[in-house]
Structure 1
Amino acid sequence: MQITYSGGPEVAVVDWTDRGADSTFDLHGQTVMEAAANVERFLMAQGRARPGGVVRLITGRGRGGGGAPVRTRVRTLLRHFREEGRLVRDFVMEEGEGSFLVRLR
């Protein structure tokens, strides 16, 4: 766990990525279009249920030689939502590159 201290009284700031996910959504077997629609619905529902929560989106790494269209589309969506200030506060691709950890608004 990474802990940093900000100025003034010692206040520990814990890295949000060290938290376990409150909920996980596995996108295996979905088309790019299905995954995009379902990710938005999932994030909306989780944002209402757990404002500020952390969720995991499992995209897989894609099939050999075929790229990773679901992972690529999900990353694009997450960037879009973060830039709009909607649904997503931040996100990281987890080690192994088959899932994203997402901090909700």
Structure 2
Amino acid sequence: MARRRRRRSSSRDLSELDLLDARPGAVLDLHGFRGDEVRSAVSNFVTSWQRRTPGGVIHIVTGRGRSSAGRPVLAPAVRRCLRDDLAALVTEWCPDVAGGGFLVRLR
């Protein structure tokens, strides 16, 4: 019988756990937003809160996308925005536990 290898936690895994345990200082709820409104709303929110609370944690709620025709729209748009447009303002981010948003640690 083959032995299973135990997966070691990487520093990224531990960092993500810290982020999931953090209490967000602010929440942006994007329910009701259209896909073309997301980039501007997220950018303004992140920029504003990064100035107010450097190193703080915010929560961006997208919902799971069940109301969208076809595929989810908001979550992929937020993911692109965090990864590409706002990388200089964000230390780390991960999906929230419920899968309907993102927790973001600001620089």
TM-score by length of 2: 0.77
Q: Give 1:66's aligned amino acid.
A: G
Q: 1:77 aligns with which of 75, 81, 96?
A: 81
**Percentage identity across paired residues of the two chains:** 37
**How far apart, in 2, do the equivalents of 1:29 and 1:74 lie?**
14
Query: Structure 1, residues 17-67: CA drift from partner, whole Å, max 9, x if none?
Result: 311101001000001111111000000000000001000000001125621
Pair 1:62 & 2:65 matched: yes
The number of equivalent residue pairs is 90
Unmatched 5+ residue regions in structure 1?
A: 1-12
Root mean square deviation of aligned Cα:
1.8
TM-score by length of 1: 0.78
Unmatched 5+ residue regions in structure 2?
A: 1-14
Structure of greater relative contact order (alpha carbons < 8 Å, 6+ residues apart)? 2
User: In structure 2, do the counterparts of structure 1 residues 55 and 97 end up closer, same or farther at CA, with 3 Å as the change threshold?
Assistant: same
In proportion to residue count, which structure has more strand?
A: 1
